[in-house]
Structure 1
């Protein structure tokens, strides 16, 4: 039986993007192909993964990693599918586990779970392998850092994503370059100016500062020159005390 390593499983409130406030099951997978400077998530593979016993208590049961797909499915099924808007596959970068997801996602869909994929938008070929079983794509656009540039691969990924419901998250900080915002805006406009785009002010970490209020307003106006659906939404789960 195929096995998949897990970081954690829990039920909580979505804290980012246009679905902020809905109830979701979160299935967090380890490993990532990027090392974003503002990342606050441990992406290493733990010897055991944790699953919250009762939602909101932050009391966890521990299970050995990796877990067989059939056992993982049974654990997820302990959550009431009717209570939850969808199941968020998050990370790390979930598309690093495409072989396992191609087995797991059809089983989840058969059980009535809607699949919400959170991804850094840099693995377009892997996306195509699981796209038939995905309902909603939350795609990051990563601005350049440490000499790494992602514009071309993001455009491929976004064009493939149009087969499903997709929205974009763009994390911005105080020293974000207007040049990079210009490139990001024009990339989205080339693909489809109606794609919902979220400017997400960074949660301060590692000395990185959040944008000032006037910056966010100016940037939103700048994006609205070419795009039709731009929102500014912070990480609300942070100040709600949710996982």
Structure 2
């Protein structure tokens, strides 16, 4: 079994609710979406990675594992394209397993063993250059309900741009609220797009986005801290 791997590296988690924690990242190549704001465009094609076996990835993890690292984060690209590979790697470590996913492949996510935490991106229509499909959102909902039914710690991350319209954002949040089976347990992270300098003239909008989400969910607004620290 092989999968296209771009890199295996150690760093601090720069996004979401585990921000600042030391993690080992396994970055897969290949993605089933084409988001306009993607900050790892080099990972979109599966041809951009090197084919590796699960054991080879495990060996790379062993080389860089440090005492302060308690989590392996599978990221991409879209790691849910490779559920069996993730399970094979995960079974070799007594560490927390994190999946960073767009959530549009619920059947694949269901196949991954030993998941402890999932960071699931909710995609907005404006994240795409005209090729948004409502099925994306329906599958994200399906993935969320699936993970919550399994008592897996999952939170949503929503990337917003300075151009994001409050009304369209509100519509997505309302739909999310109506379709989540246990919304009291779901936390939402609003992530302003980088660079943060783009927000200097419109930062008041961040409060409005937070207020919209706060009507339905617990909400935090967290930028990409690894970009601020200038680390990977």
TM bracket (short chain): 0.7 to 0.9
Residue 217, structure 1, aligned to residue 224, structure 2: no
Note closer, same or farther for the CA distance 1:33–1:210 as it changes in structure 2 (3 Å cut). farther
Query: Which runs of 5 or more residues in structure 2 are unaligned?
Result: none
- Report the 3-state secondary structure (helix = DSSP H, G, I; strand = E; otherwise coil) of the residue aligned with 2:111: helix
Pairing of 1:1-243 with structure 2 (within 5 A): 2-41=1-40, 42-43=42-43, 44-45=45-46, 65-80=50-65, 82-107=67-92, 111-130=93-112, 132-144=113-125, 145=128, 146-148=130-132, 149=134, 150-162=136-148, 163=150, 164-190=152-178, 191=180, 192-204=183-195, 209-210=198-199, 212-227=202-217, 229-243=218-232
TM-score (norm 2): 0.87
Report if aligned partners of 2:72, 2:96 keep a CA contact under 8 Å in 1.
yes
Higher helix share: 2
What whole-Å deviation, never above 9, does each CA across 1:60-79 have from its counterpart, x for those lacking one?
Answer: xxxxx312222221221123
Partners of 1:204 and 1:83 in 2: CA distance? 29
Q: Give the number of equivalent residue pairs.
A: 219
Report if aligned partners of 2:188, 2:213 keep a CA contact under 8 Å in 1.
no
Partners of 1:134 and 1:15 in 2: CA distance? 20
- Report the 3-state secondary structure (helix = DSSP H, G, I; strand = E; otherwise coil) of the residue aligned with 2:5: coil
What whole-Å deviation, never above 9, does each CA across 1:71-106 have from its counterpart, x for those lacking one?
Answer: 221221123353203011000000111232232222
Q: Equivalent residue for 1:53?
A: none
Note closer, same or farther for the CA distance 1:153–1:209 as it changes in structure 2 (3 Å cut). farther
Partners of 2:87 and 2:65 in 1: CA distance? 23
- Report the 3-state secondary structure (helix = DSSP H, G, I; strand = E; otherwise coil) of the residue aligned with 1:215: helix
Q: Equivalent residue for 1:58?
A: none
What whole-Å deviation, never above 9, does each CA across 1:152-194 have from its counterpart, x for those lacking one?
Answer: 1111111012120001100001121223312322233231143
Partners of 1:210 and 1:93 in 2: CA distance? 28
Shift of 1:45: 4.0
Note closer, same or farther for the CA distance 1:136–1:182 as it changes in structure 2 (3 Å cut). same
